[in-house]
Structure 1
Amino acid sequence: MRNIRARTVLLAGGLSLLVLHLCKDFIDLKTTKTISHLHLNVKRNNPQIRQHIKNNSHVFSWQRCQQNMSIANISGFSSLPGSIKDFLYHRHCRHFPMLLDLPDKCGGAGKSADVFLLLVIKSSPGNYDRREVLRKTWAKERLHNGMLIQRLFISGTTSSGFEKKRLNKLLEVEQREYNDILQWDFSDTFYNLTLKQILFLEWMERNCPNARFLLNGDDDVFANTDNMVEYLQSLKDNDGSKHLFTGHLIQNVGPIRSSGSKYFIPVQVQESDSYPPYCGGGGFLLSGYTALVIYNMSQSITILPIDDVYMGMCLAKAGLGPTSHMGVRTAGLHIPSSSVDGYNPCYYKEVLLVHRFLSAHMFLMWHRIHDPNLKCGSS
């Protein structure tokens, strides 16, 4: 009898381990979307758990993605820069724990159609001064022409050790005061900008699927968001439910093969010598419809580290294309003469977006273009 009991215990233990192993594999194979739906269902059904998840956004999170070591076997890998090697090792990684979440930012998925323009601003943790200026200027949450403008900063993590903890704590403090940050636990580097875009689009599909339009841009652009609302309101037969993707159009270009360039893309990352048409990533406008199309297309397109090109690749796969808007100047604004002030507000009053502004210039320009005494004319 004792031997039978012992065998029974061993058999039960073995089955338990097998079940745990199968459960782990099952969870690892699940998509973020499935876990997100579980997340939402739990929140709806239990107020205490809902609050716990809000305070601990890591409850439903992905395990750390492992390097694909086999990538080191590709031809020429050993001669690549470290940043490219790191990108290739982790290129397959698309799921990362969320450190800061705002599931109710748009009023919940069902009410997200109330958001006319969602400002999605790429910002690294250390860029506190930029975020503060934007909150007081063009990214201020408000109504313009009766249309709701909402703001989100999207971020990863930077540095390591105590510095990483301090910067994460900074974002936590900002979150408590402003409720405007989404943060994932991935390294916020240039080569991970595409990952940042995909993670945001995944979040949008879950929490803000019906937002009408989006401005997607950097935290160093000057954006005349009043003009953007007026432009978007003027569109005929498009309330955000049809295709729109417009900005500074770039076409007939391909990967830069020079290793000294910030935008270096070796053949190990992309063999093709051409890119599809795309809009400069400093800032572009798109409809909510197009944002979700891009997200769906991204599921079957290998990540390219140049995020604006990757958006163009997703559009091309969907049979859609970007368009040019003369009011979007991601390459900067051309001032006709060096004898005039390059920051004269009359040059900026009618544009939609200009890339690369210092925080002080941003603050001043916003107030100058809204000065009721500002006079602009041929004189």
Structure 2
Amino acid sequence: MFNIEEKVLSTLKIETRSAQRPEQITVLTFNSSFRHHPMLSPYPYPYKFLMNPLEKCQKKNPFLVLLVIGESHDVKARDTIRRTWGNESIYQDVHVIRIFLVGISPVMTATIQRVLKEESTLYGDIVQQDFLDTYHNLTLKTLSGMEWVTKFCPNASYVMKVDNDVFVNVNYLVHQLLHPELPPRRNYVTGIVVENTSPSRVNYSLWYLPEEIYPSKIFPPYPAGPGYVLSGDMAKKVYKVAQEIAVYNIEDAFIGICLYKMNISLTPPPKNVFEGLRIGYNSTVFSKLVMAHHFKNEDLLILWSDMRKKNLI
């Protein structure tokens, strides 16, 4: 882990080319002068693992690690995912593991912590670090997953970061997009590619980024946050480069900044296999996509039950 006090300010200029004009993206490294800025997450920082299911990767090297993002108090969402697409036991031809990433609840802390410990004992699928579980710390939560893969599951072939209000068709992802019979890709990140977006300068916006910490007028391309897939080596590379640059609270845009820092491009996915908006449920359509956003709890259970009845899972 890098020592924050030893960081020095530096700037990386990266050129992007478009049909109109070249753009410059300025990526600032973390620096003691920025350390206390409220819009920057404290990182690198020696966050501790409070819950860590080490046995998940001790016996096998998983083909796919599902890193599920949610709130520490949301027991119902975790249980629903365990009963549906996150049920590891139904994927018998490849090794798939499920991990829930959480922080420390800022409210009802002791009660929620007790529930999390009971869940962890029962299911062995919760990774918790000691930062506050807030929307502002979403980037820290995602990086805790990249750190976990780097340190405790380094031989995973692929990783998917996914929010807990997403339906994931794991079979389609594994067999139609990733292909377990082929050697794992390297430098691979795919999902909904977001391009030509600008940081919000409105100080009451949830996604506000002031010019003093992000001076550029545009974000580099990034994978939309609800769900994206990385090769195993990329999870390690993202974690490594995050030790060197300022960590912003906009998680998916930050991943794009990491990719730009490494000069690695997103791989566009096949058309219509990543759905970032809620779409009407159709079993035939859903059997041929990787993910669909805004399906949670009862909606997800109904969808899953129908697809199981039709033998589409």
User: What is the aligned partner in structure 2 of residue 124 from structure 1?
Assistant: 71
Aligned length: 283
Q: How big is the shift at 1:104? A: 2.3
Pairing 1:254–2:206 present: no
Q: How big is the shift at 1:324? A: 2.4
Pairing 1:221–2:221 present: no
User: What is the aligned partner in structure 2 of residue 101 from structure 1?
Assistant: 52
* Distance in 1 (alpha carbons) for counterparts of 2:237 and 2:275: 25
Q: How big is the shift at 1:267? A: 1.5
- Alpha carbons 1:142, 1:148 under 8 Å: kept: no
* Distance in 1 (alpha carbons) for counterparts of 2:34 and 2:231: 39
User: What is the aligned partner in structure 1 of residue 245 from structure 2?
Assistant: 301
* Distance in 1 (alpha carbons) for counterparts of 2:274 and 2:196: 19
- Report the structure, 1 or 2, having the larger helix content: 1
* Distance in 1 (alpha carbons) for counterparts of 2:33 and 2:218: 28
User: What is the aligned partner in structure 2 of residue 154 from structure 1?
Assistant: 101
Partner amino acid, structure 1, of 2:277: A
Q: How big is the shift at 1:369? A: 1.7
The one of the two structures with greater contact order (alpha-carbon pairs below 8 A, sep at least 6) is 2
- With over 3 angstroms needed to count, the CA separation of the structure-2 counterparts of 1:256 and 1:298, relative to structure 1, is same
- With over 3 angstroms needed to count, the CA separation of the structure-2 counterparts of 1:370 and 1:213, relative to structure 1, is same
Q: How big is the shift at 1:209? A: 0.4
* Distance in 2 (alpha carbons) for counterparts of 1:196 and 1:234: 28
Pairing 1:184–2:122 present: no
Q: Given the alignment, which residue of 142, 154, 157 partners 1:197?
A: 142
* Distance in 2 (alpha carbons) for counterparts of 1:351 and 1:312: 23
- Alpha carbons 1:221, 1:355 under 8 Å: kept: yes
Q: How big is the shift at 1:363? A: 0.8
User: What is the aligned partner in structure 1 of residue 221 from structure 2?
Assistant: 277
Q: How big is the shift at 1:212? A: 0.7
Using the TM superposition, name which of 266-275 and 282-291 deviates more: 266-275
Q: Given the alignment, which residue of 103, 107, 117 partners 1:172?
A: 117
Secondary structure of 1:280's match? Answer: strand
- With over 3 angstroms needed to count, the CA separation of the structure-2 counterparts of 1:233 and 1:347, relative to structure 1, is closer
- Alpha carbons 1:100, 1:184 under 8 Å: kept: yes
Pairing 1:369–2:289 present: no
User: What is the aligned partner in structure 2 of residue 142 from structure 1?
Assistant: 89
Secondary structure of 1:281's match? Answer: strand
* Distance in 1 (alpha carbons) for counterparts of 2:239 and 2:265: 15
Structure 2 residues not aligned, in runs of 5+: 5-31
Q: Given the alignment, which residue of 280, 283, 288 partners 2:232?
A: 288
Secondary structure of 1:332's match? Answer: coil
Secondary structure of 1:323's match? Answer: coil
Partner amino acid, structure 1, of 2:80: V
Secondary structure of 1:370's match? Answer: helix
Secondary structure of 2:55's match? Answer: coil
* Distance in 2 (alpha carbons) for counterparts of 1:143 and 1:365: 17
- Alpha carbons 1:144, 1:229 under 8 Å: kept: no
TM-score by length of 1: 0.69
* Distance in 1 (alpha carbons) for counterparts of 2:264 and 2:290: 23
Partner amino acid, structure 2, of 1:105: K
Q: How big is the shift at 1:145? A: 6.2
- With over 3 angstroms needed to count, the CA separation of the structure-2 counterparts of 1:287 and 1:185, relative to structure 1, is same
Q: How big is the shift at 1:365? A: 0.6
- Alpha carbons 2:162, 2:227 under 8 Å: kept: yes
- Alpha carbons 2:147, 2:239 under 8 Å: kept: yes
Structure 1 residues not aligned, in runs of 5+: 1-26, 31-67, 73-84, 334-341, 375-379
Q: Give the RMSD, CA atoms, in angstroms.
A: 2.5
* Distance in 2 (alpha carbons) for counterparts of 1:358 and 1:92: 31
Secondary structure of 2:56's match? Answer: coil
* Distance in 2 (alpha carbons) for counterparts of 1:119 and 1:365: 20
Q: Given the alignment, which residue of 69, 86, 91 partners 2:42?
A: 91
TM-score by length of 2: 0.83
- Report the structure, 1 or 2, having the larger strand content: 2
Pairing 1:212–2:157 present: yes
- Alpha carbons 1:141, 1:149 under 8 Å: kept: yes
* Distance in 1 (alpha carbons) for counterparts of 2:268 and 2:187: 14
* Distance in 1 (alpha carbons) for counterparts of 2:258 and 2:183: 21
Partner amino acid, structure 2, of 1:366: W
Q: How big is the shift at 1:313? A: 1.1
User: What is the aligned partner in structure 2 of residue 345 from structure 1?
Assistant: 283
Q: How big is the shift at 1:237? A: 5.1
Larger radius of gyration: 1
- With over 3 angstroms needed to count, the CA separation of the structure-2 counterparts of 1:87 and 1:227, relative to structure 1, is same
* Distance in 2 (alpha carbons) for counterparts of 1:184 and 1:316: 27
* Distance in 1 (alpha carbons) for counterparts of 2:285 and 2:150: 37
Secondary structure of 1:248's match? Answer: strand
- Alpha carbons 2:2, 2:243 under 8 Å: kept: no
- With over 3 angstroms needed to count, the CA separation of the structure-2 counterparts of 1:92 and 1:152, relative to structure 1, is closer
